[in-house]
A = this chain, B = another copy of it.
Amino acid sequence: MTDRNRREQILQAARALFREKGYHATTIRDIADEAGMLSGSLYAHIRTKEDLLFEITDEIADQFLDEMKAVAGRSLPPDALLRQGLAAHLRVVSTHLDAASVFMHEWRGLSPDRRRVIQEKRDAYEQMWAGILEAGAAAGVFRREGLRFARLVVLSVANWSYQWLHPGGVLSAEQLADQLAEVLLSGLLVPPADRADGTA
């Protein structure tokens, strides 16, 4: 097995363990065990435990950014961008559930410097969402009032998804995104004109 493969194996073990037990509750011996070696041997492949955490979070942050950049670059109506942005997010989460959970949960374990790197990528990601919503409002498709709160709602749905998403589910990320986008776009209320009792 190549060094690169071995390292990826270690990373994979760390992702699963950091997600399951948390970064601080996971020991270097847990990771070595899972990778089939002794704890001392791990240091032929890594420098520190924190390096593993950084590599995991930085890599998935880039994936979120790359996917969202691809979506934002399409010239599509705002509601289609919302659907596709949500689908992209859910796709990344469901195909990298361990890493996504670690990204959302364990960044506090990073040193201040590295935490800042991750925070900047997170900010950039949120700004791309803000851009999609702003463009929708500019086009007259999304409501202007409450746009700030709309952003909060969309980001909540995206950021919370790692908590309930199961990669083995019946619905695909795209199908889930469509359903969630429908709720976000149209709201919970039955339009007054359609109500059975005729109230408006």
Name A's B-contacting residues (CB within 8 A): 21-22, 24-25, 79, 82, 105, 108-109, 133, 136, 140-143, 146, 149-150, 152-153, 155-157, 159-161, 163-164, 176, 179-180, 182-191, 195-197
> B180 touching A153 by the CB < 8 A rule?
yes
Residues of B within 8 A of A185 (CB): 187-189
Among B157, B159, B189, B190, which residue has its beta carbon within 8 angstroms of that of A153? B157
> B184 touching A25 by the CB < 8 A rule?
no
The CA of A188 and the CA of B45, in the complex, are separated in Å by 49
Residues of B within 8 A of A142 (CB): 188-190
The CA of A150 and the CA of B185, in the complex, are separated in Å by 11
Shortest Cβ gap from A142 to chain B (Å) = 5
Count this chain's copies in the assembly: 2
Shortest Cβ gap from A149 to chain B (Å) = 4
Residues of B within 8 A of A196 (CB): 140
The 3 nearest A-B residue pairs measured at CB: A187-B187, A24-B24, A156-B160
Residues of B within 8 A of A150 (CB): 183, 188
Residues of B within 8 A of A146 (CB): 179, 182-183
The CA of A160 and the CA of B126, in the complex, are separated in Å by 15
> B143 touching A189 by the CB < 8 A rule?
yes
Residues of B within 8 A of A191 (CB): 191
> A187 touching B184 by the CB < 8 A rule?
yes
> B188 touching A82 by the CB < 8 A rule?
yes
Shortest Cβ gap from A195 to chain B (Å) = 6
A-B contact list, 30 entries, CB within 8 Å: A24-B24, A24-B25, A25-B108, A79-B189, A105-B105, A140-B190, A140-B195, A140-B196, A141-B195, A142-B189, A142-B190, A143-B190, A146-B179, A149-B183, A150-B183, A150-B188, A153-B180, A153-B183, A156-B156, A156-B159, A156-B160, A156-B161, A157-B157, A159-B160, A160-B160, A183-B187, A185-B189, A186-B187, A186-B189, A191-B191
